[in-house]
Amino acid sequence: MRAALVEYSSSEEEREEEGGHRGGGEQRPSRASAVRHRLPLPADLPGDPEPEEAVTDDSSRHGGRVRSFPHERGNWATHVYLPYRVREEFLELLELLVYRARSHVPSLSAMEEFHLSLSQCVVLRYHWIQPFVRGLRARLAAFHRFFCVADQVKVYTNQNKTRTFIGLEVTAGHFQLLELVSEVDRVLEEFDLPTFYKDPSFHISLAWCVGDLSDRLEGQCLQELQDIVDEFEDSALLLRVQWEQIHCKSGNKYFSFPLR
């Protein structure tokens, strides 16, 4: 089985999912102020703070990952998702899956953080971040905590086929996720940004590799991985996930929206 992944843009998006597309944009100081220390901008004022956090697109520093859109100062890669906090038993299952999958694709790497995406990775200008977050908070305020089951192993590629992923697809809880996506999409539309995929395959990514190696992971490998999941002790309980909050990451800024 194969599907398109939520668009992970790459050199940063794993630290766009894990750490950070960094915004920049430095205003030239006046001659009088050039000899004085610059005062920090308030966090909620429009502009491009933290100009020292410029990005250099060097794929060799990120395992060969290539960005799916170019970095520009003042553009902040933004992603809405459900964070998955793992238990020790999940890491044991992950170790078994990656070990088996590496017999087919040795370059496979385990994810370091885990989540379920509710949006594509989109680009916000800095002064849009606070209005965007306020819109999300208002739209998501009425949602309650809920459970999903993610127990179907599946192979994904990103849109430009530069990376391949192994993930656990959601088999129960799809309706609630669609309701969340619908509200997130409405906020994205207000900013004229791309909405989520029409028929999404909700999943938690487990491991990745550079390039389109889906043919080597599907078929026999995929069946072996599914057997490991099915036979893992207490997997039915382990892969039943309660979602308690939604996160939005914009550049190096994180925002949290607790579910009721």
What pLDDT, on the 0 to 100 scale, is given for residue 38? 36
- DSSP assignment of 64-133 equals T---SS---TTEEEEEEEEE----HHHHHHHHHHHHHHTTT-TT-EE-SS-EEESS--EEEEGGGHHHHH
What pLDDT, on the 0 to 100 scale, is given for residue 199? 93
Residue type, 138: A
Domains parsed from the chain with CATH numbers: 59-258 (3.90.1140.10)
pLDDT, one tens digit per residue, over 135-185 is 999 999 999 999 999 999 999 999 899 999 999 999 999 999 999 999 999
Give the span between the Cα atoms of 65 and 107, in whole angstroms.
Answer: 13
Which H or E run contains 249? strand 245-250
Give the span between the Cα atoms of 42 and 45, in whole angstroms.
Answer: 6
pLDDT, one tens digit per residue, over 176-204 is 999 999 999 999 999 999 999 999 999 99
Give the span between the Cα atoms of 44 and 134, in whole angstroms.
Answer: 12
Q: pTM of the predicted model, to two decimals?
A: 0.76
Assess whether pLDDT exceeds 80 at residue 25.
no
List the catalytic residue out of 115, 144, 174, 247.
Answer: 115
- Residue with more model confidence, 7 or 47: 7
What pLDDT, on the 0 to 100 scale, is given for residue 80? 98
What pLDDT, on the 0 to 100 scale, is given for residue 121? 96
> Per-residue confidence at 16, pLDDT binned at 50, 70, 90?
very low
CB proximity list for 140: less than 8 A, separation 6 or greater: 180, 183, 184, 246, 257, 259
What pLDDT, on the 0 to 100 scale, is given for residue 43? 40
Query: Among this protein's residues, is 203 annotated catalytic?
Result: yes
pLDDT, one tens digit per residue, over 113-131 is 999 999 999 999 999 999 9
Query: Among this protein's residues, is 115 annotated catalytic?
Result: yes
The rounded mean pLDDT for the chain is 82
Mean pLDDT of 68-82: 82
Question: How many CA atoms are closer than 13 Å to the CA of 249, on its beta-carbon side?
Answer: 23
Give the span between the Cα atoms of 244 and 196, in whole angstroms.
Answer: 21
Assess whether pLDDT exceeds 80 at residue 214.
yes
List the catalytic residue out of 37, 71, 203, 247.
Answer: 203
> Per-residue confidence at 66, pLDDT binned at 50, 70, 90?
low
